[in-house]
Structure 1
Amino acid sequence: MALRDSKNDAGLTEWAALWAQATFDLAVFALTPEGIVASWNPGGTSIYGYEPGEIIGQKYAALFPDDVDPVNTSDAELREAVKRGSCTIEGWRKRKDGSVFWASVMTTVLFAEDSSLRGFVKVVRDESEKRHSHDAVIESERSFRLLVQGVSDYAIFMLSPNGTVTNWNLGAQRIKGYTAEEIVGSHFSRFYLPEDVAAGIPARALSTAAAEGRFEAEGWRLRRDGSRFRAHVVIDAIHDEAGTLIGFAKITRDVTEKREADQILEQTRAALFQAQKMEAIGKLTGGVAHDFNNVLQILRGNLELVTSRYSRDEWLTTRLVNALDAVERGAKLSSQLLAFGRRQALRPVSVNLASMIRGMDDLLRRALGETVMVETVVAGGLWNAMVDTHQLENVLLNLAINARDAMPDGGKLTLELSNAMLDDRYVRALSDVPAGQYVMLGVTDTGTGMTDEVLEHAFDPFFTTKEEGAGSGLGLSMAYGFVKQTGGHIRIYSEVGHGTTVRIYLPKSSADAYVPVTHGSTALMGGSETVLVVEDDAKVQATVIAMMAGLGYGVLKADNAEQALAVLSSGVHVDLLFTDVVMPGSLKSPDMARQAVQLQPHMKVLFTSGYTQNAIVHAGRLDDGVELLSKPYSRAELAFKVRHVLGSPGEALSSANAEGSQERRNEPPELDILVVEDDDLAREAVVELLELLGHRPVPAETATRAFAEIARRPFDVLLTDINLPDMSGIDLAEQARSFCPGLSVIFSSGGPVEMNEGKTFAWFELLKPYTLDELEAVLGKIIDQGQRKQASL
């Protein structure tokens, strides 16, 4: 504006000067037309740091930073102000100390009445804080853009109010497959499945976000290549300051792997629950089977003993055979329970399953009948499998019978064999199935199929959909337990009306296939060896002893492991230790057997049990070198197994001479024998052997007790240990002969008998451990001596 020489203008100038001098937050100063500082207020000192005397007379360019060409910059600013009459700009300015600040500069041009340039008035505000805030916002926005663009695990993009994509980050490109150029401007519904678009799901998502501020859901989405992925989607509504909807922020996460992991976790939990349930039921059924087998053993053993004695009575024989058939059915039921409970004693070998199935062809066709057609499909290059063939044959037969029952009007049964690889992905949800190579045995029928509810309980013991009495409900349970114990996997696929497929995966074997040895029919074999029977069930024990004696064996007994070791330590020779696996007490049967063999290295060991409890079965298979006779067993099975373990053919034993051998053991006693032994179990064992040989033994634990017995009655023989607690056995024999003239003496000792020269009576020696035959031989000599004396009289 132009300055006028009037009183009002003078007053105004005065007021302006007063305002400038009173202002501290604004720098107010004047410049000459040449850009020389002509005045300076306190605000200039506060902002720039110059006192008036330091800056007045200096070029305006002194207030500009050195890096902007101060002279040219300041001159250009003033020229622009002259051109426009005034101007307001922002820029960097320099303080006295050289520091810079961000300034808002308003320049007013002063003209004279003749329009000549009188100078300039500068009003400067320090806007550093505002600039810093602005820069921070800019930097924040830049960082946010970089952050959004740098996120690769999430698709982050903006939508217009109508759902058009307005921007696109790298995560969206990675997940959905589109570049920003391909997708910006398109409607976001193109990511949805066609059926979801038709159902209005994209529009409903936007309307929900607009109404409620947020929409969140999971669903299937499409990638650029047409593949599907599971997406977790969040849509947030964006409003301006006035509350107007300006668009949506959309975040999409690919949760396909998480969904699969959740499904696998759920399957794993279900499988674990099923495995725990099966394990619990298996333990229960195993325990029941153990007790049940003991009962069956008593029944079977006694029935067979009666049958052998009364075989000529046709009426009685028929009923005994019927009873034995019932025991056999009970034994089969018990075997199935043990199979389900994974408590069988398996003997897996390397098997060619194709050969095994061919060998079962006639059996399967007889079991299935003429209305069912059987087809076998074998893949080329079939591996061998590691499996117990006898148990697998039972499983296959059970599956075939189940298939037959599901095809009442006939159908087709397909047996399939092939190599299979169960990879990590497949077994991820199966806690007890390792990944690896298997041989797959598939059994497929064209029957009625199963519902989902039936499939869920198919492996449960006693679960059946058959009519009452038509099945035990243990066929699939037995198959399940056997396969699991073998280290394999079993799975059922079924659809109502379309049949059922059972697939069994058995561990691959790299060994050559085992060729079984066939045994022809042989006569019942017995022997004369000594057997120690260790059994805690008194009735089972009595039955076994009778069966062993009927086969001609000398039998000793023990109620537990501790008693068995005591008998073996006494010096009595034992050829075979026949022991139950599961017995009470701290000393387990396998440990007892190991100690027993150390005591008598020649001795063989045969275990028997209805339930092994993993004592001699580990990793689903019988321990190496262990022989087991499972309860309940028949007399023939017992005879065969004993001879097999003893390693010799034995003596052929018909029913008649088997009965005769029992009668020979029960002939009237010939000798009264005083048995002096301080070890209780050893004494009891010797007494049983003497009774078995038909004599009348009387036990005594000390020499004092022996003298008391001699005072009551005469004896033919004194059988005494050398080391007694109250007297030497030799001194006992010398004194006893004075009471019983003609008394024969047998010394039983663990070492040679050292007789003093003063002892002149005749005696016999039995070196511990001695056999039943050795004992019988010594007694035979005594009997012969007595008979010769009698003949000479």
Structure 2
Amino acid sequence: MTTTAPIEVLLREALDRLVRQEQRTAALEAALLGSIPRIVPITPISNALAQTTRTSETPTVTLWPAPRKAERPAPGDHAPDAAVSPAAVVASLDDVIWSVSPDGQSVFFAGGAVERLYGLTAHEIEIQRGRWIDAAPADDRDRLRLAFARLPDAGTFSLEHRVAHASGGIRWVITRGKLVRDSEGRPLRVDGSTTDVTRKGRTRDAVLTVLEGAGPSTARDFLVQLARYLCIACAVRAAIVVEPHTSDKARTAVAWIGGRAVEPFAFDTGTGVVHDLVAGGAVLVPSGARDRYPADPLLLKLRAEAFAAEPLVDAAGRLLGFVAIADDRPFDTDLDPRTVLCALAPRAAVELARATEADTVRELEARLAAAEERAFSAENATRATANLADAGRLAAGVAHDFHNMLGVIIGNADLIHSALPDGDPHREFADTIARTAQTVAIVSRQLVAIGKPGAPNFAPLDVAAALRALEPMLRRLTERKIALQFDIAPGLPLARADATDFDRVLLNLVLNARDASSSGSTITVRAAAALAEPGHRGWPADAPPTEFVAVTVADQGCGMTAEVREKMFDLFFTTKGERGTGLGLATVSAAVRAAGGHIEVESEPGWGTTIRIYWPLVLEPTRSRFPRRAE
């Protein structure tokens, strides 16, 4: 015959099991906290029932008894279990300690850094079924549920996942749990902890964001993407990659500031944050960077309140530069910028070395291409010079024959003039023929001299007479819309010069002035005596005062820049494109140097050009060879 136990006996057995479970929980918590476990005494039924409360869904068991008010221990009395509240210890933890149902949906207890991690109080998590596990984003929530589902077989789990803070932010955590069974081996609950590893997670995400953003790019393209995505991943204003420039300066290979790429800039390395970086390795100033490095040029340029940098070294340990990030406010405490830069530094060093090597190769290729172009231009100029020389010899030959025929014309004109009686009107015609032929003979002889140059023949030269003889040819060479003026001082001394070189110099200078001038402008040719003082316009300071005849050709044309002025007398240098050979002014310079003269150039863009030739004087004046008559 079966008898039914009184209800009081059944309740007592149930409460006995509950008390033993509380004792095991207290022992577990004591092991976690390193304190002495408190033994929960068996209480009467009325008091035991008061310790268990029920809700409409699931019973919530208070595992930590209400703290008793302890008396202040006497001096020297060490009794932590009597002086320290377990609830206060749990509340001071940086982790969250919890106990949940085997499926993770019901929270029996939550303590520690609950509000900091979840943005909710422990009470809010405990009374809302599923609220604790639903704090994880959807994909991480599924992983967390799978870990709980495997607990009957695994017994424990450790999972890194994200938690959505009530304010809307995301934090990274590591959750560890252990399945607790009852005396009959059935799952009773899961006890565990949740540790905040947001700094580690955000740092890892920042590195992955940069590498994914940079993709397969290499060399300088990679460095640009590196700087760009460092700003995005670390939420900073500026990111730079720096390389050495000179012994005391560095420059940015890449700079991304304020959401855009900026032109490279250089800065001093002797003091400030860069000096510390080069001397001691990495630099990390999470806040107050400009207070620590006042007036630092790099920090001022970046407007940096926070700054972090990591050196870039090659396989041999040679410093290639550094990568840095900066912001105009302190760095986010949930990010480790130093770790981000350390993780990216090896790849950045490789790509910086590639970029430097590529720049060197491009520079060499550019120099080679420029050398090939100069060689090609020189070859063309040489070929053109040879053609001009052939043409000059041909013209000289024709001019020589023409000069001989002019002699016949002049001789016959003289015979006709002599045969006609005085007062005959035809005598004037004969004189006109003779004078015209004489002028043409002078031009013909100049063509012969220019077309067949030889060794210089320095002799006393009447500069005024030489200019007057050249004037008709020069006027024919200049266009009618360009005025040609002559200003020749009286009583000029004789110059020591080769007459043919003098003519060639004046022809080249006037032709260049014509090409640089526009319609309505004026070209002025002046001649005057001049005294060159020591140090005057580039003359040696120890040179004695020397007298010269200065011949000036001034135009009102386009003028020259400083770069063009430096190269204007170089062989084959021209600003006329295909129309020029680069030989005219080079010939002028050679002729003047050979005569012992000097050249001065005054020119500015838009203000015309003035070229002054100083011809040395003859020490013992003799009779000039001008005017010249046709033979």
The two structures share one fold, judged by TM-score above 0.5? no
State TM-score, norm by structure 1.
0.26
Specify the structure having the higher radius of gyration (Cα).
1
